[in-house]
């Protein structure tokens, strides 16, 4: 049975049964006192996200989610989901990268402020992706306690 976009998305949002785990250049939330760090991110630091996407694509089947067309499409190469620094800095949220990793039953989505999110139902996806996140020189963490 082919995978359907509706298994993962409702409109522009990931379906509610998936929980977020954040991937960032930093090991946790910056907080207002460190927001200035967002303005200091070098292209080489930003490239770590492309490195992560390439690592994921080399290890797993990856489907690109096109929410405007309402479809999932297999990617043949990580070049289909990576981008240049200049393009990444000028796009809007509708152009953010969103991929599905069927084997891990998760979604990886680009977000604002040099953050990606792994949307998962259980820790299996996080445990499987954690070594790739670390190899790319990034950090992952869950929601902060209330």
pLDDT score recorded for residue 15: 95
Q: Is residue 6 a part of any domain in this protein? A: no
Q: Is residue 2 a part of any domain in this protein? A: no
59 backbone dihedrals φ, ψ, rounded to 5°: -105, -30
Say if residue 99 is exposed, middle or buried (CB neighbours under 10 Å; 0-12, 13-18, 19+). Answer: buried
Q: Is residue 65 a part of any domain in this protein? A: yes
Residues 41-89: tens digit of each pLDDT: 999 999 999 999 999 999 999 999 999 888 999 999 998 999 888 888 8
User: Structural domain tally of the chain?
Assistant: 1
**pTM score, whole prediction:** 0.92
Strands 115-120 and 19-24: antiparallel
Q: What tokens does 27 get?
A: 């090991």
pLDDT score recorded for residue 3: 65
User: Strand pairing partners for 101?
Assistant: 106
79 backbone dihedrals φ, ψ, rounded to 5°: -60, -20
Q: Is residue 9 a part of any domain in this protein? A: no
pLDDT-based confidence at 1, cuts 50/70/90? very low
Q: Is residue 77 a part of any domain in this protein? A: yes
Question: Is residue 145's pLDDT more than 60?
Answer: no
Residues 4-27: tens digit of each pLDDT: 889 999 988 999 999 999 999 999
Q: Is residue 3 a part of any domain in this protein? A: no
Q: Is residue 10 a part of any domain in this protein? A: no
User: Strand pairing partners for 134?
Assistant: none
**Structural domain harbouring 74:** 18-141
Contact 116, 132 (CB under 8 A): no
Residues 88-134: tens digit of each pLDDT: 888 888 889 999 999 999 999 999 999 999 999 999 999 999 999 99
Q: Is residue 8 a part of any domain in this protein? A: no
- DSSP class per residue in 26-44: SSS---GGGGGGGGG--HH
């Amino acid at each position: 049975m082919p995978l359907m976009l509706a298994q993962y998305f409702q409109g522009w949002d990931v379906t509610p049964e998936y929980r977020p785990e954040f991937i960032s250049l930093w090991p946790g939330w910056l907080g207002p006192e460190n927001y200035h760090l967002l303005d200091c991110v070098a292209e080489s630091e930003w490239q770590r996200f492309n490195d992560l996407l390439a690592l994921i694509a080399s290890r797993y089947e990856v489907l690109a989610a096109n929410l405007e067309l309402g479809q999932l499409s297999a990617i043949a190469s990580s070049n289909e989901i990576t981008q240049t620094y200049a393009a990444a800095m000028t796009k809007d949220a509708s152009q953010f990268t969103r991929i599905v990793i069927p084997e891990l039953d998760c979604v990886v989505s680009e977000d604002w402020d040099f953050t990606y999110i792994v949307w998962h139902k259980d820790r299996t996806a996080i445990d499987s992706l954690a070594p790739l996140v670390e190899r790319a020189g990034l950090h992952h963490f869950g929601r902060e306690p209330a």
